[in-house]
Amino acid sequence: MALFNKCLTVPPTSSNIVSREGLISALNRGPGMGAVRLGKNHLRWCDACNLPVLEDRECGRCGGPTKAVDVTPPADSRPAFAHNIKVLRATVDAQFGPGCGDALLESGRVVIMNKVPALDRMDEVIIDGEVVGALRYDMGKGWRFIARMGAAHAIAEKITRSLVICDKGAVRFVRDKKNLMAPGVVDADPAIVYGDEVVVLDTDGEAICSGIARMGGQEMVDSAKGLSVKNRWTDRGPRPRPRAGATWEEAFEANTPMLDRRIGRSSRFIRNVIDEHQLPAVVSFSGGKDSLATWILTKEAGLDLPLLFIDTGLEFNETLEYVRRFAETHDLKVIMELDREDTFLRNVSLFGPPGRDHRWCCKTNKLGPTVRAITRHFPDGVLSFIGQRRYESASRAAKPNVWRNPWVPGQVGASPIQEWTQLHVWLLILSRGVEYNTWYDRGLDRIGCFVCPASDMAELELVKEGCDRYADWEDRLRSYAEERGIPKEWIDFDLWRWRDVPESVLNEMSDMLPPARAAEVMEKVRNIDDGLSMTVDEDGVSAILSRKVDMSAAANLANMLGEVVAFEDDFTVIGVEVRSDGCKVINPSADGLEKVHKVMVKADSCVGCGLCITRCPEGALALIEGRVRVDEGRCVHCGDCLDPCPALTFGLSDFEL
């Protein structure tokens, strides 16, 4: 238990913390970043114990009442780990002066973080049962702390920077949510610049509000008129802080009734799903917290299931070591399917880097090996317990807790933690004393591939510092960009994480560059196109592919559509003539054009994942030299194998008719 407190409660300050400087946007949220409601907010607080309590209106430790904590949706809160505390302290000290980090984060306090919508990364910080501020990371600028009144009161005795002193006569207006005007300023930190986050005190040193500087510090003092501080947060006066010294062991005790209830419900769910489907069962284990919690719940249900682990070739080294060590510690059988890193790199040349709006890598590097593992080890099907949670994304919120994945024939997926938040998951893991992946201690709140495009810049900063494999990925990105004339800012600002970079992100980047350079970069980034597309030529009869395709491969795969008549490098299928000269498709109907287009893309961009092989009832498909080929003698042209396919999902571009 002592290990948990070392990792999760506020540790003593460290003298070698390096602070980050830099002005960031004063907005609490990026443009258009509204609330995302994926489920209920379960976070409550016991003031008597000064502890978080999930769901229950009574504390499981003292029996006293709990109150709801008003956090921003989706309310997927989690514990603050040692690295989070270190960054918080350093950021608060850098902005507001030495000692402010310690004053806010007194040793021993339980701290909760809640990720909220932002252009890159922002986490609300919950201490003493309230959101005391937000830790925000902005492109090219780094971390900044946006203080609310809980933080303002806590640091009032230590603050020496970003400080404004207001006249007593202005206090009542500011507390009435009015802005602080220049005549009401008695003094201000001369280092304040327009847009800085500031805290306003009265002449007695009492925190009055926090807000955004609308003048430089010296200008506030010298001006006789004008807006000095835009008031964002204020209250009616100080209140005593609750006791410090709360521990996570006490938090486990306070949440015992909730955990017992959840575990019992999950155990019944797990046993019922097994009874209903009568399939061999496994735990899909990624090395992350959600699959770990899922495994714990199967153990609590009295089961001893094997682990199914897919090594995509893109896992952190620490994840691979952790999975092996975890299996040895708990004497577990591991069904491990390996993929090679060059599979991913080959696909980069076909589809471009994976993006948030173009995440082909999950299909090719994870689902493909999963299909092979299930086909090899569970030919009659398998029930996989998977750590899926509704709070992760809108798509997962819409899924049931038992499902069949069309991409993985033979697999029934079931999630016993579909309705759990991160804090539910961590309370279970920590209360059971089970080892977890070390990358959580390093600051990541989700763990997957080290090249994951879903990572924000704050996470990629940690990965670049701590993963020695990331430099090779940046070299690959650099070569990819140079071959296509893509500017270096595409890598510098991690724009590779999208196929179509959002305008809000491009605008944020443009603020970092000289205007002429910004315009040039934005133009080039907006016009990156690697798709294999078709356009109808001038006579409206033939369609031309944007790049040449292996016609032998295309003719072979065309058997998926119907009987193929081939002549040298040309062939005909379903009444459509396909010619090698410029890869023309002659006299197509709209339906024929679409189908032939799919065949051409499959021929060009097959990644050898094997998903289509499992869908062929005749056994007419096989992998030959890493590509799917059709046995023409066995194929009955049913077309069942055409979709789903990563090549079509991520390589098929729109074409005009």
Distance CA 518, CA 390 (A): 38
The burial of 345, by beta-carbon neighbours within 10 Å (0-12 exposed, 13-18 middle, 19 or more buried), is given as middle
* Helical (H) or strand (E) element with 115: strand 111-115
pLDDT for the residue 68: 97
The single-letter DSSP state of residue 322 is: H
Residue 589: per-residue pLDDT: 66
Nearest to 231, CA basis, from 311, 304, 174, 301: 174
Helix 457-466 to helix 470-484 angle (10° resolution) is: 120
pLDDT at 308: 96
Query: Residue 202: enclosing H or E segment and its boundaries?
Result: strand 197-202
* Nearest Cα to Cα of residue 572 among 586, 560, 583: 586
State the Cα–Cα distance between residues 440 and 448, nearest whole angstrom: 12
The residues of the chain scoring below 70 in pLDDT are: 1-37, 339-342, 350, 529-543, 545-547, 582-585, 587-590, 650-657
Distance separating alpha carbons of residues 458 and 473, to the nearest angstrom: 17
Number of helices followed by number of strands (H, E) in the chain: 23, 28
**b/e for 162-196, b at 16 or more Cβ within 10 A?**
bbbbbeeebbebbbeeebbbbebbeebbeebeeeb
Report whether 40 contacts 280 (CB < 8 A): no
- Alpha carbons 78 and 226: distance in angstroms, whole number: 42
pLDDT tens track for 451-496: 999 999 999 999 999 999 999 999 999 998 998 899 999 999 999 9
Give the total residue count for the chain.
657
Residue 366 pLDDT? 79
**Cβ atoms 401, 415 nearer than 8 A:** yes
- What pTM was estimated for this model as a whole? 0.83
Q: Tokens representing 112?
A: 């909760």
For residues 641 and 623, give the distance between their C-alpha atoms in angstroms, rounded to a whole number.
14
Listed residue (370, 363, 334) closest to 614, CA to CA: 370
As given in the structure block, the two tokens for residue 452 are 């994951």
Q: What angle do CA 86, 91, 95 make, to 5 degrees?
A: 150
Q: Is 163 helix (H, G, I), strand (E, B) or coil?
A: strand
Domains in the chain (CATH in brackets) are 2-234 (2.30.130.10), 255-440 (3.40.50.620), 468-526 (no CATH), 534-651 (no CATH)
Would you say 77 and 71 are in contact if contact means Cβ atoms under 8 Å apart?
Answer: yes
